[in-house]
Structure 1
Amino acid sequence: MDVDGGGNKRVFQRLGGSSTDPKNKVCYHWRAGKCNRYPCPFLHRELPSPPIQPPNGTASSKRHHVFNAAAAGDPTVPRRAPNNTWGRPHAGRGGGGANNRVVRKMDKVCSYWLQGNCSRGETCKFLHSWSLGDGFSLLSQLDGHQKVVSAIAMPAGSDKLYTGSKDETLRVWDCQSGQCIGVLNLGGEVGCMISEGPWIFVGLPSIVKAWNTQTNMDLSLSGPVGQVYALIVGNDLLFAGTQDGSILAWKFNAAVNCFEPAASLKGHTLAVVSLVVGANRLYSGSMDHSIRVWNLETLQCIQTLTEHTNVVMSVLIWDHYLLSCSLDKTIKAWVTGQSGNLEVAYTHTEEHGLLTLGGMYDSESKPLLLCSTNDNSVRIYDLPSFAERGKIFSKMEIRAIQIGPGGIFFTGDGTGQVKVWKLAAVEAANPA
C-alpha cells in the first residue's frame, strides 16, 4: 500500500501524537489488529516491555524445527498451558517488538526490477526487494543447484553448510567465503537431511546415507521403501519417515561402527513427510492428513490427530505446544487437554497451502515462527500472537528453512537458490 504522508499526519494528530516524540505512543489501530500503515509512526508494542527470557531455557541449536526442549524431563510435552494467548497481542510474550508491524504493502516483487530495468524507482507500487519488513536482511545468495533445494543442514559449531537438492547432489559451502567447496553426486533425489553431532544424515530413495564429518566414515542404511522424506534423532535412535507410510528406526552400535535396525513403526496409510521429537514423544505428519503421537520408550502409537484436512507438511515443538502446518492452509497449535490427549488450542488460517515451519528467537528472546507457503513466500510471525513481522519472497516455492547461529537463517527454493538471511537487532524502546 502506498503511504500517504498527509493522511498519516492527520491520523497521527487525531490520536494525540506529538511530532517531536511519536514513539512514546502505542498505535490504536495496531491494538485493534487493523493497522495498515507501513511504516507506522506509532509503536506496535506495549510499553513498558522488559526483555523476556526464552521459555524453559534457550533455544535448541541442534535442529531448526525445535525451538527448545520444553520440559525435557516431562514425558507429557506438549502439556496443558494455564493461559491461551494465541492470536492476539500480549505484552511480554510475542506481543511485538520495535520491529513488529502488520505488513500491508503490495506484496509482489516487481517483474521489471527482476530484469534490472524498472523506471519507476521508489514510486513503483511493487517491491524492489526479496523481502518486506525491516526486521531482517539478505546477506548472500548461494547458486549451484539445478533443481529445488529440499534440505539444508548446518552442524552445531561447524563452519560448513550442507544443502541437498532434487538434482541428486549434496553441496558443501564454506560459511566464511560463501563458496561451494564440494559437490557429491548421490544418484537419487534428496528428500531430507539433518545433522546430529558429527553426523550428516541424508534421505534418498530407498536408503539413508550417513557421513561422519570427523572420521569421514560413510554408511548406507537400507530398509526404506520409496523416498525418505523426513529424518529425526530421539532417545538415541535415528528415525526415518518413508514413502510407504512406515517410520524406520536405527540405533548406532559403537562396537562395530554401524547403525543397526531397531524398529519399524506402522500406522500411517500414506507417506510420512515430517517428524519432530519432544521429550519422550515422536510426532509424525503424513500425506494421510493425520499426525501420530508415538511413545519413544515403547515405540507405540498413543494418539492419532485427524483435524487437518490435507497433507501435514511440517511439525514443530514450541514451549507447551505442538505446531503443525498443512496444505489445508492452516497452522494448528496443539496442547494437552484435561483428558490428557492433545487438543487444538488455536488455528491460524492462511490464503495458501503451507509447506514448512521453522522457529527462532529475536534479540529480545521472543519467539518467531517462519512459515513457507505455496505462493512462493515465507511469513514471519511473532508467537503466540501471530502478528506479522514481514515476508520473504522467491521465484519459486521455498521448501527448506534452516536456522543458524547469531540470528542467521537460510532458505532454499525451487530454482535451486539458497539465500542467507540475518535477523536484525531490535532497538531498545524509548522510556515511557
Structure 2
Amino acid sequence: MDDSAARDGNKRVFNRLGTAHDRSQKVCFHWLAGKCNRNPCPYLHRELPPPPSINGFASKRPHGLANDRSFSGSSSMPRRPDPDRSFSGSSSMSRRPDPNLQLASNTWGRNHGAGLARVPRRTQDKICHYWLEGNCTYGDRCRYLHSWFLSDCFTLLTRLEGHQKVISGIALPSGSDKLFSGSKDQSVRLWDCQTGQCAGVFNLGGEIGCMMSEGPWLFVGTPNVVKAWNTQTSSELSLSGPVGQVFSLVVGNEMLFAGNQDGSILAWKFDAATNSFLPAASLQGHSHAVVSLVVGANRLYSGSMDHTIRVWDLETLHCIQTLTDHTSVVMSLLCWEQFLLSCSLDKTIKVWVATESGNLEVTYTHTEEHGVLTLCGMHDAQAKPVLMCSCNDNTVHLYDLPSFSERGKIFSREEVRAIQLGPDGLFFTGDGTGELRVWKWATEPPNGPQ
C-alpha cells in the first residue's frame, strides 16, 4: 500500500472515531521525519501505542540472537528428508501443469482465510542502517528496527562467519552431518551441524557460481568446470565442457544439467559401472548466460540474462516454448503444484500456468519495489506453503501462497544470493558479506496452540 493510501485510510479511521480534528492524538509527520521546527507543536512528538493485536495475532517483534551457537537440537544430524513434492527446485514437480486444474487468476494476490499471520507495513518496519553498522546512538529510543528480522513465525538461531565474499550456494548432502557453503571467495566451507563450527575449508581456485546436492553427491559450479564430490565415498570428479562460469545446476531424468556463461546448457548422465558422469547433450538457444534452472514434470526450465525462459522436453531435450514476458534477467525459477514461478531484476514475480494447448501463460504478476534475486519455497510448521524471495535492497520477503500475504522479512547488510531448506523446520540464507545464517520456523502459530 502506498503512503497516500495509508494516510487516507488513517483519516477515515479518525473520522469514524470522531477524532479527526483532535490534533493532540496525531503524531507529527515532520517529527517522524526528524525535521519538525515548530515549538510548541500541536501534534504529538512520540509514537502512538501499537494496537494489541492484528487479526488476533500479537504484533510483538522478536529481537536478539540465540546464544546457542549450534543449530541442531538432537545428538545426531537428522537424515535429510525427501524434497517436498509440493515445491521443486532441483527435483521433479508433483505433476505437470494441468489445464484441467485451473486455479482462477483472482485467487493470486488475495488474502484467503483468517489465521494467516500477516506483517503490517509501517514506516517503523525499516531497519536502522546505523544499527547495522553497530553505531546507532539512539538505542531503544530509535524509531527504526533494531533486529535482523521481522516476524513471529521464525527465529534466528545463529550466524556462521568465515567467507570473505558473497555466498553463492548452500547444500546438505544426504547422509552427511555437515552443511556445505560455497562462495565467490573461491572456497567451500564445511560446517558441523552440532557445534556450528567450521569443520574444513577447501580452496577451488576459482569463483563458485552455484552449488547443489543430490543424494550423497555435492556439485559445485566454477569457471569452465563442474566439481563433483561423493560425500559418502570421498570420490572426486571434474566435469569439463562448460565455457566460462557455471551459474546454475539441477538434476532431472537421471541427468545433471549445468547453465553456463556462454548461454549453453550441458548435460551429463551418471554411469554407475564406471562411477563417472558421461556427456549426454548440449542444449543451445539462449543468447546470454543461463543463471537459473529448475526441473518439473518431465520439463526443464531455464532462465537467462537474455530475459527469456526456455522450456525443454526432458525426453527429447528439445526446446518446446520460449517465454518472453520478463524485461530483465530471469534470476530464479520455482515449481509449485501446477505452477511455474519466475523472478527477475525487472522487479516482478510471475506465476505461469498451462493453457489448454499445453503452453505456459502468465496468470498473475506480483511486483516488488526492487529487483528479485532468488526464490525458495517451503512449508511452515503448520504445513502452509510459504514463498521466500530475496530482493536487491538486502531484504528477504516471506509470503503465504497463493495470497502473497506477507509473513515476515529478513534484513541483511548485503544481498542474499543463496537460500536453502534444511530438516526439522530449518532454513539457511547466505549474503554478500559472506555470512551464513541459520533460521528455524516456530513450532506453533504466533497466537499459540489452536
TM-score, length of structure 1 as denominator length = 0.83
Match in the other structure for 2:406? 388
Q: What is the CA–CA distance in structure 1 between the aligned matches of 2:103 and 2:132, rounded to whole Å?
A: 49
| 3-state SS in 2 of match to 1:184 | strand
Give the structure, 1 or 2, with the largest relative contact order (CA under 8 Å, sep 6 or more).
Answer: 1
| 3-state SS in 2 of match to 1:224 | coil
Q: Is the 8 A contact 2:89 2:333 kept in 1?
A: no
Letter in 2 for 1:252: F
Letter in 2 for 1:332: K
- Percent sequence identity over aligned pairs: 62
Q: Is the 8 A contact 1:325 1:354 kept in 2?
A: yes
Match in the other structure for 2:45? none
Q: Rate the CA distance shift 1:377–1:365 in 2: closer, same or farther, 3 A.
A: same
Q: What is the CA–CA distance in structure 1 between the aligned matches of 2:118 and 2:102, rounded to whole Å?
A: 25
1:315 CA displacement: 0.2
Output aligned runs, 1:1-80, within 5 Å.
41-43=53-55, 60-61=83-84, 66=89, 69-72=92-95, 75-76=96-97, 80=101
Q: What is the CA–CA distance in structure 2 between the aligned matches of 1:272 and 1:39, rounded to whole Å?
A: 47
Q: Rate the CA distance shift 1:211–1:293 in 2: closer, same or farther, 3 A.
A: same
Q: 2:293 aligns with which of 259, 275, 280?
A: 275
Match in the other structure for 1:302? 320
Q: 2:111 aligns with which of 59, 64, 89?
A: 89
Deviation string 1:189-210 (CA, Å, 9 cap, x unpaired) is 0000100011000000000000
Q: Rate the CA distance shift 1:78–1:179 in 2: closer, same or farther, 3 A.
A: farther
Unpaired runs of at least 5, structure 1: 2-6, 15-36, 46-57
Deviation string 1:198-238 (CA, Å, 9 cap, x unpaired) is 10000000000000001110000000000000000000000
Match in the other structure for 1:171? 189
1:129 CA displacement: 0.6
Q: Rate the CA distance shift 1:111–1:330 in 2: closer, same or farther, 3 A.
A: closer
Deviating runs (4+, > 4 A) in structure 1?
A: 37-40, 61-65, 67-70, 75-80, 428-432
Output aligned runs, 1:159-238, within 5 Å.
159-238=177-256
Match in the other structure for 2:382? 364
1:38 CA displacement: 6.5
Q: Is the 8 A contact 1:103 1:389 kept in 2?
A: no
Q: Is the 8 A contact 1:80 1:337 kept in 2?
A: no
Q: Is the 8 A contact 2:99 2:355 kept in 1?
A: no
Match in the other structure for 1:142? 160
| 3-state SS in 1 of match to 2:438 | strand
Letter in 2 for 1:151: G
Letter in 2 for 1:423: W
Letter in 2 for 1:365: A
* Alignment coverage as a number of residue pairs: 385
1:252 CA displacement: 0.7
| 3-state SS in 2 of match to 1:421 | strand
Output aligned runs, 1:348-359, within 5 Å.
348-359=366-377
1:425 CA displacement: 2.5
Q: Rate the CA distance shift 1:256–1:78 in 2: closer, same or farther, 3 A.
A: farther
Calculate the aligned-residue CA RMSD, in Å: 2.8
Q: What is the CA–CA distance in structure 1 between the aligned matches of 2:200 and 2:339, rounded to whole Å?
A: 39
Deviation string 1:261-286 (CA, Å, 9 cap, x unpaired) is 00001111100000000010000000
1:132 aligns with 2:132: no
Deviation string 1:65-112 (CA, Å, 9 cap, x unpaired) is 53985444xx55697524331000122xxx652x33334343433244
Q: Rate the CA distance shift 1:190–1:428 in 2: closer, same or farther, 3 A.
A: closer
Unpaired runs of at least 5, structure 2: 4-9, 18-48, 58-80
Q: Rate the CA distance shift 1:68–1:225 in 2: closer, same or farther, 3 A.
A: closer
1:368 CA displacement: 0.5
TM-score, length of structure 2 as denominator length = 0.79
1:406 CA displacement: 1.5
Q: Is the 8 A contact 2:93 2:295 kept in 1?
A: no
Q: Rate the CA distance shift 1:193–1:140 in 2: closer, same or farther, 3 A.
A: same
Match in the other structure for 2:138? 120
1:159 CA displacement: 1.9
Letter in 2 for 1:306: T
Deviation string 1:347-374 (CA, Å, 9 cap, x unpaired) is 0001100100011101221111100000
Q: Which moved more, 1:383-392 or 1:322-331?
A: 383-392
1:247 CA displacement: 0.4
Match in the other structure for 2:428? 410
Q: Rate the CA distance shift 1:416–1:264 in 2: closer, same or farther, 3 A.
A: same
Q: Is the 8 A contact 1:59 1:360 kept in 2?
A: no
Deviation string 1:310-345 (CA, Å, 9 cap, x unpaired) is 000000001110000000000000000122210001
Match in the other structure for 2:64? none
Q: Is the 8 A contact 1:377 1:391 kept in 2?
A: yes
Match in the other structure for 2:416? 398
Q: Rate the CA distance shift 1:77–1:401 in 2: closer, same or farther, 3 A.
A: farther
